Amino acid sequence: MKIAAIQMTSGPVLQDNISAAQRLIAQAVHAGAQLVLLPEYWPLMGMRESDKLTLATGCDAHLMADFMAAQAKEHGIYLIGGTIPLASPETDKVYNTTLVFDPAGDVVARYDKIHLFGFTSGTESYQESKSILAGETAVSFSAKDGGNAINVGLSVCYDLRFPELYRSLGTTELLVVPAAFTYTTGSAHWEILLRARAIENQCYVLASGQSGHHINGRHTWGHSMLIDPWGHIVAVLPEGEGVVCGDLEWQMIRDVRRNLPALQHRTIHFPR
């Protein structure tokens, strides 16, 4: 299966971001992608924390999911929708949510980001818990690849620092990480954490990032990439908008797990 990660530099205008996503999804499909991953916050990098709630509860709230469903159906792909803000009925916060659409345009999985980013260094400070409500459940879904079923584990950005989340998913062939890593933390930790998750789980990792200087002042790291089960970087896009594309090769997964059966050697297991 050919899989692709989309890299964006999203801004505060929903329709502009939808147009960019549509163009980049078409580019990925033209390259042969059957599964496409959007980045975290692809519909909105707002000027204020409250912009997430406004989008989730306003008249445009339905546009994000409707757009992704239409794209998945039009192109006949699995579309993993990065994240969008979804309102919580109990609070004035939102969930940072990944919706997964199958080739018929139907939602087949929902994951609410569990780990909320907090970082302070000098004048740089982020506290997602101010506007986001944490999810509680690890989620994976099955994608069809001919006669094979790919178990795809879902995660978002800061989740990458918590390997126990990925262990709790059981055996996966693909882990996805839509993200908006800051330039500061991304330049230090992004690649090494992604490669570690691929190596320890002996699976492919597909990571889709925000990149560059955003209108709201944020600076994100980019470097969307595909990593194979041996930890090699198959493809990477350091900066700017674009698409990272490569093949998920079943034989590569089988060879790594046969030659180094680390998953069989585990003595501590997480319940599902």
Type of residue numbered 162: F
Q: How many residues does the chain have?
A: 272
Question: Residue 89 burial (CB < 10 Å; 0-12/13-18/19+)?
Answer: exposed
Q: Phi and psi at residue 94, in whole multiples of 5°?
A: -120, 160
Type of residue numbered 252: M
Sequence-distant (6+) residues with CB within 8 A of 81 are 38, 42, 64, 65, 68, 98, 99, 100, 101
Q: Helix 61-75 vs helix 14-30: angle between axes, to the nearest 10 degrees? A: 10
The residue from 52, 93, 113, 173 that is catalytic is 113
For 117-145, b/e burial (b = at least 16 CB within 10 A) is beeeeeeeebebeebbbebeebbbbebeb
The residue from 40, 128, 173, 241 that is catalytic is 40
Active site residue 52: no
Active site residue 2: no
First and final C-alpha spacing in the chain: 27
The residue from 52, 93, 128, 157 that is catalytic is 157
Stretch (H or E) spanning 233? strand 233-237
Integer angstrom CA distances of residue 85 from 7, 133, 179:
19, 10, 14
Active site residue 113: yes
Sequence-distant (6+) residues with CB within 8 A of 82 are 6, 37, 38, 39, 40, 41, 42, 98, 178, 208
- Number of continuous H segments (helices) and E segments (strands) in the chain: 7, 17
Catalytic residues, which ones?
40, 113, 157
